[in-house]
A = this chain, B = another copy of it.
Amino acid sequence: MKLKVRSYDLDSSEPAVIIHDDDCRELGVKVHDRVRITSRDVWISLVDNSDTILERGEILVPNIYIRRHGLKDGDIVDVIHSPKPDSVVYIRKKMDGKKLEKDEICAVVNDILEAKLSNIEVSAWLTSLYINGMDLEEIAYFTNAMVDTGERIVFDREPVFDFHSVGGVPGNKVTPIVVSIVAAAGLMLPKTSSRAISSACGTSDFVETFCNVELSAEQVKKISEDVGAVFAWGGSMNLAPVDDIVIKVENPLGINPRAQMLASIMSKKLAIGANNLLVDIPMGAGTKIPTLNVARAYVRDFTELGDKLGMHVECAITYADQPVGQAVGPILEARECIRVLEGENHPGSVVEKACALAGMILEMGGIPNGVDKAHELLESGAAMTKFREIVAAQGGNYDIKSSDLVPGKYTQDIVATKSGYVHSIDNKAIVQIARASGSPSDKGAGLLIFKKRGQRVEKGDVILRIHADNEAKCVRAKELALRLTPISIEGMLIEKG
């Protein structure tokens, strides 16, 4: 059937065209059926029908498909009913707990990317992965299939080092420090990071307060080869793009199946050409990885999967029972990060974590006594010089100083209501308060934690300061902090026996 294309911009993640009721009947399609625009070989997995939004003879196509397939408003296209793709059968096979073949996994991944599968089907796929899992051979196929959906960067310099944090601990601003130390030692580390989805502030959220993170693949290659490193936002390149579609379905479910998580991380590392990867596994209450057993399972997964993919992988299980350092929120974290690079030896947790991780990467690169060497590069100012070069290459100010970064002007203090010792800090509550203050979209928003675990507190001491760009959000974040009491203080005597 010939239909006239009209674009629309409904920002649902669901690929759907809209066709008039009567045309649907004539085509023999109904809601949730698929059509194919034969002239462009476009499959669309979902048909909606309507008789008020459009006229007979029209087909409304989401902008994303208009762009992807070179369609334009007014094009006359040939539309036919299209059968279910075979990948639906493979999803059923995983539902039935069976192991999938390489070709079957590739078919599912490609059909997600090409919009042949609807959200209902992708959700069933993720739920099946969550419940029935995949073995490491399947995950290796899955990873390669995801790599093949996007760009790959091929560097002229070898080897390529990379670093990934499994995430989950607030205030984890060590990445630019680790990367600057490693690059200062002469190793190349083209680091891509993410923005926060449900966390308080992702690495890209704070790095973009002092330089541009939206780099093309060409820029990542050139800057890394010239300067030794980048701090790029992974989303601006087209690395394993199928992941972005999957994340939109994972989020409402609040799941991140092991197979999907591993394939998602490793595919981005493969796509950027990494041959040596350090994975940081922050372990602690209120994080994704609550116990040492869970952390060790991650270590096994990453190293064995690395073997199958031809990538040397090492892992570091790090302490994450409380936030890293004092600051949470874009400008606050950027300031704390740059202060450490400027030579300030505080907060100790930031310095130690950064040097421990950088040290492991240096040793992977054949540099002995890695942790000592990392401290040396940090204290000598070599890491700061490298940091300035990277910032400048990414369009930032070479002469950047931590004092250039000014947090939100509205502040609210939380004081201790009794004297004692900080017994625990609730990561999840800290994230909620930071988000209530406006982080990560309000760059000046966030909070400073003045007292960490084990520290002595006197009644009336300021233990937490909230910053915000907006007064109402500042007040709301304070109210939330008073309700959640993220910092718990106890006398030394916890309980009488």
Bound-complex Cα distance A11 to B130 (A): 31
Which B residues touch A8, using CB under 8 A?
A: 50, 52-53
Partner of A251, one of B32, B122, B126, B130: B32
Asked if A309 lies at the interface with its beta carbon under 8 angstroms from chain B, I say: no
Interface set, chain A 241-266, CB cutoff 8 A to B: 248-249, 251-255
Task: Let me know if A11 and B16 touch, CB within 8 A.
Answer: no
Q: How near does chain B come to A125, taking the closest CB pair, in angstroms? A: 9
Which B residues touch A132, using CB under 8 A?
A: 131
* B-binding segment of A113-121, A219-227, A320-328, A329-337: A113-121
Copies in the complex: 2
Closest to A51 in B: B9
Task: Let me know if B9 and A31 touch, CB within 8 A.
Answer: no
Task: Let me know if A21 and B11 touch, CB within 8 A.
Answer: yes
Interface 1/0 per residue, A1-26 and B, CB below 8 Å: 00000001111111010100100000
Bound-complex Cα distance A164 to B58 (A): 43
Interface set, chain A 78-133, CB cutoff 8 A to B: 84, 88, 91-92, 95, 97, 118-124, 126-128, 130-132
Which B residues touch A422, using CB under 8 A?
A: none
Asked if A48 lies at the interface with its beta carbon under 8 angstroms from chain B, I say: yes
Contacts from A to B (Cβ < 8 Å) = 8-14, 16, 18, 21, 31-32, 46, 48-53, 84, 88, 91-92, 95, 97, 118-124, 126-128, 130-132, 248-249, 251-255
Known pairs A11-B50, A95-B131 / 13 extra A-B pairs, C-beta < 8 Å:
A9-B51, A11-B31, A12-B16, A31-B248, A32-B251, A92-B254, A119-B119, A119-B123, A121-B123, A121-B253, A123-B123, A124-B253, A127-B128
